Structure 1
Amino acid sequence: MITTVTLNAAIDKTYSVKSFEMDRVSRVTDMIAVPGGKGINVARVARLLGEPVTAAGFVAGFNGQFIRSGLDTEGISHDFTEVPGESRLCLTVLDADNGTQTELLEPGPVIAENSLLTLKEKVKELAGRSTHVCFSGSLPLGCPPSLYAELITLAREAGAEAVLDASGDALAAGLEAMPLLIKPNEHEIVRLLGRPASSDDDLAACIRELMQRGIRHVVVSLGARGALAGSSGRVRRVAIPAIRAVNPVGSGDAMVAGMVTALRQGRSDADVVRFGAACGSANALQKQAGVVTDEDVERIFRDITVTDY
């Protein structure tokens, strides 16, 4: 089983408008509202890929009830920790005329110490039944930057591999616990190592440094340019085919789900990142974040090239 942990779960609401302009009324032509947050997107894609998965983390209030109910409807197993307050709304506005996306992200509930203790026990329990635990997204208010490191250690002690997709202080602290895989973007890896990276050569050097610290898989997403991926000491360039993206939100989460699925299937290091990149691109073809089809993934997978850097 794969367990995903979303500490700041949300309702992801996507508005489609013909033209979105500031300081005026916009008529929404289409609306989607689904359970969201990075880890929930990972869980959704993993399930669509045929993997057994359980979504965990914090939920609160009426929005938390919506998140649980929505996952039930989708057939995604979940085991959340209920906290006071209200889970957040994350709004995405897709502008069809200009090809833009605008995001508005609420902060979410404040997490108390007793809720953190409950979550840690739950992560230990779920990790004991999982091959991989994916920790994704921002930390809610009340959570210390060291929380991911603590949870990664608990997961590993319970026998599971840990994957971390975070940023800022949470990512930096989380590295101390040596997750199996991290997926920063080019801006995040620069901040993480505290030095400029103005070229792919610089990024490759950053990846090598992180692998030397003990991180086996380091994948730096580069948007439409694909990715640079380090695995077991080697760096590879991942080139993806051009697509006509509908909504790129959640593509990084879909990439994580694809890579973890490939790891569970025992694929080669090159095919792990290749399959992940195919899932990320396939997600961008859908209006809803965290959705892929087998047909899209297989078609894109065939057109992705992975070469030594």
Structure 2
Amino acid sequence: MNAHVMVFAPAPQLTVTIDQPNDEPEIHLHPGGQGVWQARMITCLGTRVVLCASLGGEIGQVLEPLMASEGVELKVVRRDSSSGGYVHDRRDGRRDEIVDVPGHALNRHELDDLYNLALGEGLLAPVSVLSGPGDPSLVPPDIYRRLAADLGRNGSRVVVDLSGDHLRAVLESGVSFLKVSHEELLRDGMADDDSEAELTRVLYELHATGAESVVVSRADEPALTLVNGEVYEVHMPRLEAIDPRGAGDSMTAGVAAVLAAGGDLELAVRTGAAAGGLNVTRHGLGTGRQDSIAGLVERVQLAPIGSGRQDRMTPDDFAGRAAGS
């Protein structure tokens, strides 16, 4: 069987977009949420995906065939409560939110069923992606801690794009690869500021507390990554963005796809950066052409942080600083 990725997407959303590319307005329905967008990009990169999700209510009835049409292998736990969704209007070139309904939290029995489903499918996959719910209240952090532990202990490489309590939970268990944004680190009190030195310190701290490799995205600035004990800036060509949303999800997807195929970490980061960079040039989250992404990978460079500088921080520096704090 070909290598594949299990994506844990506990609470997908229905996205309703009002658009007007020509004279008449249009309404578009799509499945959404972090896990769906990641699965879509992994599929674009030619890697098979098994998507494990919970769906319920009228929204869930609409979501299921839409998700099945994405080209993923869909595994569903059907729930009594309703899935969530949102409506936004982008006719004037902006994204104006009209309504956002997060859905209901999963109950204990639904969580048990979803956990068993994701664990069983994840144990069959070389890489598992744990994606966050749109609203943190929908799924408790401990589900992520347990899933990361059980998958990691049994040979699946766990890739996460989480923040807040859900991130802290998986770090307790350990993960193979973590993607987080600098805005999330600042919001959650995990970084004091957005300086290069501070974010480098945080990279080493995240590694020390449970993440083997880490990428911190920095909006328009080059991402920072810790790979094999070395911190790099991720440099790529400047591209004009149509929609900057979703770059991080596509980056995570690119990393997972390469790791599932047996690629090394540096290639995984470069492919993730290329997938994220190309996604912002398109309408539609988690989309892109595989050949275009492959062409962009060759232009992504990992440059060691502080090369030739006296203030370069090393793992020993971090350890000494932590011991003295």
Distance in 1 separating the partners of 2:144 and 2:233: 28
1:135 corresponds in structure 2 to 130
1:22 corresponds in structure 2 to none
1:24 corresponds in structure 2 to none
The alignment status of 1:123 with 2:125, answered yes or no, reads no
1:208 corresponds in structure 2 to 204
Q: Is the 8 A contact 2:115 2:143 kept in 1?
A: no
Q: Deviations over 1:33-75 (max 9, x none)?
A: 2111111111111111111111112111122122220122232
Distance in 1 separating the partners of 2:138 and 2:85: 18
The alignment status of 1:5 with 2:8, answered yes or no, reads yes
1:101 to 95, 106, 129: 95
2:77 corresponds in structure 1 to 81
The Cα shift of 1:224 comes to: 2.5
Distance in 2 separating the partners of 1:226 and 1:92: 30
Q: Secondary structure at the match of 2:81?
A: coil
Q: Is the 8 A contact 1:14 1:31 kept in 2?
A: yes
1:21 corresponds in structure 2 to none
Q: Secondary structure at the match of 1:286?
A: coil
Q: Is the 8 A contact 2:41 2:286 kept in 1?
A: yes
1:161 corresponds in structure 2 to 157
The Cα shift of 1:263 comes to: 1.5
Alignment of 1:289-300 (within 5 A): 289-300=285-296
Alignment of 1:50-89 (within 5 A): 50-89=46-85
The Cα shift of 1:140 comes to: 5.6
Q: Is the 8 A contact 1:124 1:158 kept in 2?
A: no
Counterpart of 1:40, as a letter, is: V
The Cα shift of 1:195 comes to: 4.0
Q: Secondary structure at the match of 1:176?
A: helix
Q: Secondary structure at the match of 1:180?
A: strand
- Structure 2 unaligned blocks of 5 or more: 306-325
The Cα shift of 1:268 comes to: 3.2
2:168 to 165, 172, 180: 172
Q: Is the 8 A contact 1:217 1:229 kept in 2?
A: yes
Q: Larger Rg: 1 or 2?
A: 2
1:113 corresponds in structure 2 to 108
Distance in 2 separating the partners of 1:60 and 1:211: 37
Higher deviation after alignment, 274-283 or 259-268: 259-268
Q: TM-score, normalised by structure 2?
A: 0.84
Percent identity, aligned pairs only, is 25
The Cα shift of 1:30 comes to: 4.0
Q: Is the 8 A contact 1:7 1:140 kept in 2?
A: no
The Cα shift of 1:274 comes to: 1.0
1:38 to 34, 39, 57: 34
1:305 corresponds in structure 2 to 301
Alpha carbons of structure 1 residues 153 and 217: separation in structure 2 relative to 1, 3 Å: same
Q: Deviations over 1:72-122 (max 9, x none)?
A: 22321110211122211133443655xx43455421122111111111111
2:18 corresponds in structure 1 to 15
Q: Deviations over 1:208-246 (max 9, x none)?
A: 111122311111111222311111211110122222222
The Cα shift of 1:190 comes to: 3.3
Q: Deviations over 1:273-297 (max 9, x none)?
A: 1110110112112211111112331
Cα RMSD of the aligned pairs, angstroms, is: 2.2
Distance in 2 separating the partners of 1:82 and 1:140: 20
1:270 to 263, 266, 271: 266
Distance in 2 separating the partners of 1:146 and 1:252: 24
Counterpart of 1:120, as a letter, is: Y
Q: Secondary structure at the match of 1:183?
A: strand
Q: Is the 8 A contact 2:190 2:202 kept in 1?
A: no
Higher deviation after alignment, 186-195 or 256-265: 186-195
- Count residues with an aligned counterpart: 299
2:225 to 206, 223, 229: 229
Distance in 2 separating the partners of 1:30 and 1:61: 25
